[in-house]
Amino acid sequence: MKLSAFTSAAFVAGAVLCAGVGQAQTLDQFYQQNPLKIVVASGSGGGYDTYSRVLARHIGRHMPGNPNVIVQNMPGASGLTATAWAFNVAPKDGSAILATYSALIDANLVGNKQARFEVRKFNWIGSIANSPLICATWHTSPYKDIRQMIGKEVSSGSTGQGGKSASVPLLLNETLGTKIKVISGYPTNEVTLALERGEVDVLCGIGYSTLQASNPDWLINKKVNIVMQAGLTPFEPLKDVPNILDLVTGADRDIFEYSAILEAMGRPYLAPPGVPADRLNALRTAFDKTMEDPAFKAELDKLGLNIGPMTGAEMHKWIDKLYASTPELVARVAKVYGSGGD
């Protein structure tokens, strides 16, 4: 059936009006109608998942429209699967954000060919916690400070040559003058046991949050001495621990700083490229307010999880600095830490 000229004009005008109404949708209206989905790039039960589920219970109060917040796990390929989904497939309307691995932040810089995304095109929302790398000795050890190990022959346990538990002590030997002998081959869950049993003198290259999750009693009951940290920003639990960034200079400092940048963004959240500016601002503002929410911080504290937030704007600044690294530094990172810097 043919439409009359008047009917056709009315139909077009109505469509334009409806489109205008859609474009004029307020933030409150959008988030009242659309839940916020937090996708986690790991399986359930781990650190990324736990942080995200706590975030989900609180961030909605700080969002326009107070949306329902749901958590969905998307494990695979050490975070590559979910991060590629966020870049290529995820809705770009502000209804979905991703909790990804900080180790992927330098993926494009080091030429990771499996990374089907462009890190610098993401909209970074913020990071909940930093996790400086540390070295620790057992509480009965005479070594309370990494500088006491300079020139001394000591041993450290490692799962294998490709991890930071091997690369960090060897890098300390090269830059600080320690003489740490790395004993490789320990299963993941036995590296810490090796320290407790006295089989090794020091445990190096482990993240503070990793130790906090795996052996919280060690920290609570002061069973270990934290003898060194590699921290980009001040970290209250380690305020009296020497920072390797203060002990070395020049190119040696640069390589520790490179790793520290990634660790400082230890629990990062991002939104896909193309999210409208007002919705992106709403997500970032809600995230920042949640980081100051007493109920949120109390729940993390009850779970024994630390908080060391970084805003999205700060993340963009540090990522830009990371991607301004010289080819020489990137090559050294690849040599010392392996591809990906982790």
Encoding tokens for residue 153?
């022959």
Give the pLDDT confidence of 210-241 residue by residue, as tens digits: 888 788 899 999 999 999 999 988 888 899 99
pLDDT digits (tens, 9 = 90+) for 41-94: 999 988 889 999 999 999 999 999 999 999 999 999 989 999 999 999 999 999
DSSP state of 148: G
Of 21-30, 183-192, 307-316, the one with minimum mean pLDDT is 21-30
Mean pLDDT of the residues in the chain: 90
C-alpha to C-alpha distance for 142 and 11, rounded to whole angstroms: 84
Q: Average pLDDT in the 266-290 region?
A: 97
User: Chain-centre distance of CA 309, in angstroms?
Assistant: 10
pLDDT at 19: 42
pLDDT at 287: 98
First to last CA, the chain: 66
- Say if strands 203-207 and 133-138 run parallel, antiparallel, or are unpaired: antiparallel
Q: Are 286 and 63 in contact (CB under 8 A)?
A: yes
- Write down the pTM of the prediction: 0.84
* Topology (CATH) of 29-130+265-337: D-Maltodextrin-Binding Protein; domain 2 (3.40.190)
Residues with Cβ within 8 Å of 193's Cβ and at least 6 positions away in sequence, in order, are none
In this prediction, residue 249 has a pLDDT band, given cuts at 50, 70 and 90, of very high
Instruction: Provide, rounded to the nearest whole percent, the portion of the chain with pLDDT above 90.
Output: 74
Pick the CATH number of 133-262 from 3.50.50.60, 3.10.450.50, 3.40.190.10, 2.40.170.20: 3.40.190.10
How many Å apart are CA 65 and CA 197, to the nearest integer? 54
* Average pLDDT estimate for 117-145: 96
CA distances from 175 to 136, 171, 180, 255, 340 (A): 18, 6, 12, 10, 21
Helices (H) and strands (E) in the chain, counts: 14, 11
pLDDT digits (tens, 9 = 90+) for 165-210: 888 999 999 999 999 999 998 887 788 999 999 999 999 998 888 8
Reported as a pLDDT band with limits 50, 70 and 90, residue 29 is: very high
Cα 339 from Cα 342, distance rounded (Å): 7
Looking at residue 5, its pLDDT comes to 47
Q: How confident is the model at residue 339 (pLDDT cuts 50, 70, 90)?
A: low
Q: Mean per-residue pLDDT for 276-288?
A: 98
Which residues on adjacent β-strands are paired with residue 137? 225
Please determine, for residue 15, whether its predicted confidence score (pLDDT) is greater than 60: no
Q: In 3D, which of 242, 236, 162, 165 has the Cα closest to residue 200?
A: 165
Structure tokens that stand for 1 in this block: 């059936």
Res 189: pLDDT:
77
Whole-angstrom Cα distance, residue 192 to residue 202? 10
Higher per-residue pLDDT: 272 or 8: 272
Decide whether 29-130+265-337 matches 133-262 in CATH topology: yes
Query: Residue 282: its pLDDT value, please?
Result: 98
Enumerate the domain spans of the chain: 29-130+265-337, 133-262
Whole-number Cα distances in Å, 215 to 17, 251, 299 = 60, 34, 19
Q: What distance in Å separates the CA atoms of residue 278 and residue 213, rounded to the nearest whole number?
A: 36
Q: What is the pLDDT of residues 92-121, one digit of tens each?
A: 999 999 999 998 999 999 999 999 999 999
Q: Characterize 72-96 residue by residue with b for buried, 16 or more Cβ atoms within 10 angstroms of its Cβ, and e for exposed.
A: ebbbeeebbebbbbbbeebebebbb
